[in-house]
A and B are shown apart, each in its own frame.
Chain A
Amino acid sequence: MPALGADMEAGTLVEWLVKPGDRVNSGDVIAVVETQKGAIEVEVFQTGVLSDILVPVGERVPVGTVLAQIDGAERATPAPAAEPVITPPPIVAPRKTPPLRAVVAPRVGRLKVTPAARRRAAALNVDIATIVTGSGVEGSIRLADVESAGAAPVRAAAKRGLDLSQMRKAIAAAMSRSKREIPHYYLTETVDLSAASTWIERFNVDKPPVERILPAVLFLKAAALALREQLRLNGAYENDAFVPSSNIHVGWAISLRGGGLIAPAIRDADKKSLAELMGAMRDLVERARRGNLRSSELTSPTVTVTNVGDRGAESVTGIIYPPQVSIVGFGRVVARPWVVDGRIESRPLVTVTLAADHRATDGHIGGLYLAAVARLLQEPEKL
């Protein structure tokens, strides 16, 4: 069971897409797992023959549990170090693989469960953690809640799609942990976007809507390219040490209808063309909103970029998604007076912000990084 988020401790196996005896290749999606962030497709990173399925459909198991056995497994990626899959540690202190029952207790905040409900849950083998709302006193989970959860077959409960209240809890856990553990520092830079705006207008003028690109793509590319110059902002801070990543996989923050937020990876964003990035962005937004993301997309981001401009805010002071060490924010493009060569002109401006982990870098690095973003945005044709 892969850890598909900083806060994930367990997941429910919803669907097996392969059966014993099937040949699997690295990158194949073999199963679907239900997490707080919705149903996630699990990929394999080995090639071989699936010999045994160890976790049946409907079962909820802790992160780290072996789901299936692959015979003759050969690592597809010869140098795993070059492709570290960032496995976020659980939100609580690391523990040994707990028995299934232990999954019940950990949750954000103290879960109120009446004694009668707790006992019935054990008898019905209902995982209390999957009960979203309690109808009892002070929102406690009581007998009726457990019984209705027990009545619903596990498979029905674990349908594919997004459970926004579960996601809310996941966000709460990750963000609380971030604010608790990560000493953030914040830097801001205002960037003149006249060159970029002109370039985008020209690029889009003859294109059909589906091929047009948004300013957000330029931001994404500039943010990714600038990281090449400041690799200490790209990676993970784990076990009291910063582990840099040589790949730049940008977690693109996508807000979901009805609330919730997810930041799946656009892999190697620094190496993709603007058109490719635009396509990747569209694809991710669509699949994220459908609740149809892949496990690697959730585990691999090395940095997060959030664009709040289309929501109307001028700037964002981000909260780092652990174990990443930085989050880059872009605000709304606004026309403002700007001094150019000693004269005041109206210019489209964007406020770029960086929130970074002071354990990994200092403000000096952050400042250099923002300067690089600003410089890259002055030459959009090179992006």
Chain B
Amino acid sequence: MSAPQTNPTATRITYREACKQALREALLADSRVFLMGEDIGRYGGCYAVTKGLLKEFGEERIRDTPLSESAFVGAGVGAAMAGMRPIVEIMTVNFSLLALDQILNNAVTIPHMSGGQFAIPLVIRMATGGGRRVAAQHSRSLEGWYAHIPGLRILTPATVEDARFMLKGALADPNPVIIFEHVMLYNMESDLSSDVTEVDIARAMTHRPGRDVSLITYGGSLSKALQAADALAADGIEAEVIDLRVLRPLDTKAILESVSKTRRCVIIDEGWRSGSISAEIGMRIVEEAFFELDAPLRRVCSREVPIPYAAHLEDACLPQTATIVAAARELVRPT
């Protein structure tokens, strides 16, 4: 990774700052955009993403809501129907279940049932994932559930660049979009080139090419997969790392291309294994690239328990670099 001074057009910022810049840019660019959520105004957001925005944009556009996810997501659906561009923040995916009815029965269903009379250009942001030692009800990864729902676009920015620019694409989408920000990424720092001003919200990205095994992942597990690829490279195994970026609609083509090249695949998904997005990815590979496979598929997922509070147990529960390395090595060089 290049240092800031070697690239005069790059700024080194955190993922959190990238999220904030994206929101600020949206607020400046379009007067229909407003933010809504719990503690996003005076407190500055539970992960401090919206800190300072209230002062700059005022209470009309940075709205603190009551602790009622169903109510403020529903209000977001209504505002979107009425032509606004609401960006709703739900503190974490764990609390979004209270708003599931609004998302599933209203946000994605109204455009369909109204015969296209209503568009719902709603953007919902929420934090997801474990690793912060905040126990079971704050640490889940449920984005795979949302990826089950037709009519939603599910974005999982795993890089500073995606955190900075995916929002723009999401706001331009006439349908509801959910952006999942992994809690362990907010403090991640990276260079942001001034050359980049937008990103697509449709395709997966190859972060590292390789010929021996595909590591397919997204969100908070990307950095672990990249570390695993480094460790495997030291062992002479060339892993290809694919960041899905979009969980719905899945970039199946990118997945199949990578697996058709490497013929081996480990899917890393912080969700629980059973019925997970990793299960969907694996099934698509088997359906459409069966004859390319030269090894069984493998998954590294979270253990199927409520995420533990104790540090060593939480670490043991979540996908880790070492478990990814072991899974990949076993496929390439079985013992």
Contact = CB atoms under 8 A, between A and B. Distances in A.
Interface of A: 114-119, 135-140, 142-143
A114 B293 contact: yes
B334 A116 contact: no
Contact of B295 (A118, A119, A139, A142): A142
B189 interface: no
Contacts, number: 33
A143 B263 contact: yes
Contacts of B280: none
A138 B334 contact: yes
Interface residues of B, number: 11
A323 B112 CA distance: 72
A85 B291 CA distance: 44
B101 interface: no
B191 interface: no
Contact of B263 (A116, A135, A138, A140): A116
A78 B295 CA distance: 57
Q: Chain A CB within 10 Å — which of B291, B295, B331 has the most?
A: B295
Contacts of B296: 137
Interface of B: 263, 290-296, 330-331, 334
B130 to A, nearest CB: 29
A147 to B, nearest CB: 11
A136 B291 contact: no
A117 B295 CA distance: 10
Question: What are the nearest 9 A-B pairs in CB distance?
Answer: A116-B294, A114-B294, A142-B294, A115-B291, A143-B294, A137-B334, A119-B291, A115-B293, A137-B295
Contact of A135 (B293, B330, B334): B334
Contacts of B291: 115-116, 118-119
A137 B293 contact: no
Nearest to B334: A137
16 contacts: A114-B295, A115-B290, A115-B292, A115-B293, A116-B291, A116-B292, A116-B294, A117-B294, A118-B291, A137-B295, A137-B334, A138-B334, A140-B295, A142-B295, A143-B263, A143-B294
A379 to B, nearest CB: 61
Nearest to A142: B294
B237 to A, nearest CB: 14
Residue of A114, A117, A138, A140 contacting most chain B CB atoms (<10 Å): A114
Nearest to B263: A116
A137 B331 contact: yes
Contacts of B263: 114, 116, 143
A136 B330 CA distance: 9
